[in-house]
Structures are given as C-alpha cells and as structure tokens.
Amino acid sequence: MTIERTLSIIKPDGVQKNLIGEVYRRFEQAGLKVIAARMLHLSTAQAEAFYAVHRERPFYRDLVNYMTTGPVIAQVLEGENAIEAHRRIMGATDPKKADPGTIRRDFAASIEENVVHGSDAAETARQEISFFFAQADICPRTR
C-alpha cells in the first residue's frame, strides 16, 4: 500500500447542487484526508490551462465553458492508493456507466456535468495539485 495525494474538484454543478458536504462525507468515510482546500471561480484562461490535455477533443470548448459557469472547490486528498480510491468513489465519467453508490451515478446529470474531477495518475496528480496549491497551502496531518 502506498500513501498518495490526488487533486479533487467539486465542479460548478456540484457546488450549485449543494453537494459539498455530501462529497466530503464520502471522501472522509473512505478514509481519504483533506490536506488542502480552496474555493475559486475559474477564469476561461485557467480552465483552458487545466484541461489543456483535452484541447483537441470535440468537447473541449463546452468543457471550458461549463467549468467557468460557477465556483468550484479544489482539494488535495491524501490516503492509501488515493488516486484510484478517489476515482472509485467518483465513478465512471459517464454517469449512466457509473456503478451504483458512486458520486456520478447518484448526482451527475450527464457525461459533461459530472459533479467531480479526480487526477488519473501520479504524474497528473502532481501537476494538478501544483496548479491549485503552493507547497505552503498543503497541511499534512500532524494528529
């Protein structure tokens, strides 16, 4: 077992639906620890940069627009196999394909408006954490 860190976002639809507490409850119940958190309203430039890996995809412009429609909450989660554990809690990208009991199956409206984001690998987690947080913003647990 490896202790990992991953970047998690409650997307604008998740914040709009008042799911902040529900999403955090699921993370905490699974043993993931929030070690940094912030709320912000992404600019178009920020959303473009965050999703630059998808810039050639047909849904890129819509994705950038959606991610700037309202505030988001970004957090760093820490725990055993946190990257995979977090993705399991979120469920598949398309809520219709997500397992029952996952965040996306329970709350997402569509493959685009799917409530949450999670890093998909160790290297992207590092990049995505540094996109939102300086080293000094991260608060490892001391008790």
Tell me the longest C-alpha to C-alpha distance in the chain. Answer: 46
CA quadruple 1, 119, 85, 139: dihedral positive or negative? positive
Q: Crossing angle of helices 82-90/20-29, nearest 10°?
A: 130
Q: Does 111 bind ligand ATP (CB under 6 A)?
A: yes
Segment interacting with ligand ATP (CB under 6 A) among 22-30, 72-80, 107-115, 126-134: 107-115
Nearer to Mg ion, 61 or 139 (CB): 61
Helix, strand, coil share of the chain (percent; to 5): 45, 20, 35
Distance CA(108)–CA(105), nearest Å, equals 6
Nearer to ligand ATP, 13 or 78 (CB): 13
Nearer to Mg ion, 68 or 114 (CB): 114
Q: Which does 84 bind (CB under 5 to 8 A by kind): ligand ATP, Mg ion, none?
A: none
Q: Which helix (H) or strand (E) holds 73?
A: strand 72-80
List binders of Mg ion among 103-122 (CB under 5 A).
Answer: 120
DSSP single-letter state for residue 17 = T
Distance CA(24)–CA(34), nearest Å, equals 8
Shortest Å distance, C-beta 18 to ligand ATP: 19
Q: Which does 95 bind (CB under 5 to 8 A by kind): ligand ATP, Mg ion, none?
A: none
Q: Which does 59 bind (CB under 5 to 8 A by kind): ligand ATP, Mg ion, none?
A: ligand ATP
**Residue 117 among the catalytic residues:** yes
Q: Does 114 bind ligand ATP (CB under 6 A)?
A: yes
Q: Which residues form the catalytic set?
A: 117
